[in-house]
Amino acid sequence: MILNLTLPLLSPHMSEAVIECLLTTPGSELKAGAKLLDVSVDLSSAFAQECPPISFFRFIVRENVILRELLVVPGQRCKAGEVLAVFGTTANEAVDQAAAARGLRYATAGIIHHDKMWTGRDG
């Protein structure tokens, strides 16, 4: 079965997120609980203040899948609803985003900035 991951609204005030880092690669077999990717959400346009309201989130898979395609790269801005990745339940399925049976089961967790993230890198 083909599954996809679309960028959800992590806050009712967000419209996009930045891909911070990818924590796995295409072809990887992911078990429930595996780390997938980190994103950041900047709410500065909705809430102007001295310290920008930027939050970081990690996506964790909640079912056993194979990552077939990553459609994003670190530093990329993605709109809510945009497909980020395509998964399969077996390795030999034809990958067709339009034929995704359903969305991936995942969880998100708020995290703190870490040194592997795209935001804050020097050049």
Q: How confident is the model at residue 120 (pLDDT cuts 50, 70, 90)?
A: confident
Residue-level pLDDT at 46: 58
For residue 35, being part of any structural domain is answered with yes
Q: Per DSSP, what are the bridge partners of residue 4?
A: 86, 103
Question: Is 67's pLDDT higher than 90?
Answer: yes
**% residues pLDDT > 70 (the chain):** 89
User: CATH code at 77?
Assistant: 2.40.50.100
**In this structure, is residue 122 part of a structural domain?**
no
**pLDDT surpasses 60 at 123:** no
Q: In total, how many domains does the chain have?
A: 1
Contact 44, 58 (CB under 8 A): no
Mean pLDDT over all residues of the chain?
90
**pLDDT at res. 48:** 62
Its domain, for residue 55, covers 2-111
Specify if 59 maps to a domain: yes
Written as one letter, the residue type at 13 is H
Say what the pLDDT of residue 13 is: 85
Q: Residue 53 domain-assigned?
A: yes
Which amino acid, residue 74?
Answer: P
